[in-house]
Amino acid sequence: MSKDHNDDECGCGCGSEGSAWFPLNSKVQVTNEYSLSITPPTGWVYVGYEKKTGKLKAATGGTTVSCDCTGTGNCLPFVATGSAGTTAGCAGSCTACTQKQSAKSVKFESGGYVNLAGGVNIAERADLPAAFAAMFEVPEIKHGFNAFLQKMYMDLPWPKMVIGEDFMSVPNGYSIIPVDVYGRVTMVPVPTASLRTATASGTKTSCSCTSGTCTLKTQSIPFVGSASWCEGSCSGTCTLSNAISVGNGATEDRYVARSYKF
């Protein structure tokens, strides 16, 4: 069940919208023909919204990825490992395949792994997965992100941003930078003057999907700033990026982070 994998070439809901990401050095076990058990390294915790209640839940002991074919054909879980970590999902000939992420008695609607042993810094690695909504409700993450933004802004004002259906841009004097928040990347507007070293900064952030749609979502933190991530029904590869204008309406990506549902 382990193989090289291209999400844009497979069926059965195995694109970014359905696929799961987990960190390198996780322990993966085949529990039966249709499911995998994931145990992450020390410090990594799965957080997400419970399917039944919509409430935030955390799984410290790992998760299970399972595939359920309710149509014709079959779908089995796959695992693909690269420098950015490991992905899992469902692949096969099934006409209606559903991937599920669960932990003990909890079934998740969406979520992901975060490294609570990490911190918040300008992203230097180019292979980190994108952030997601549920993680910003975790108290440790909220506190760390707040502290980072306060350091970047000090007493400078929050910019008046231009927000469209699937993008956000900043005025002169501000930049949008990729920030590593406990092992996941979010795009954050900051004063350009606070950037002491060269970084992959841009003036616009957006989401794009190779098949389907994924839109930019932001969460404002009063008097401090905001975080950005992607949500939608993308069945291909959904990415969060920041870019600069290169003229004539064209843009050039400076940093791209792939988004996952789980």
* Predicted confidence band of residue 13 (pLDDT cuts 50, 70, 90): very low
Q: In whole angstroms, what is the distance from residue 230 CA to residue 166 CA?
A: 9
Question: Averaged over 6-21, what is the pLDDT?
Answer: 50
* Predicted confidence band of residue 7 (pLDDT cuts 50, 70, 90): very low
Question: Averaged over 230-241, what is the pLDDT?
Answer: 87
Lowest mean pLDDT among 123-132, 146-155, 222-231: 222-231
Query: How do the residues of the chain divide into helix, strand and coil, expressed in percent and rounded to 5?
Result: 10, 50, 40
The predicted model scores a pTM of 0.87
Taking only the tens place, the pLDDT of each residue in 83-122 is 667 888 888 888 888 888 888 878 998 899 999 999 999 9
Domain boundaries, the chain: 7-115, 120-258
**DSSP secondary structure string, 75-131?**
EEEEEEEETTEEEEEEEES-SSEEEEEEETTEEEEEEEEEETT--EEE---S-PPBP
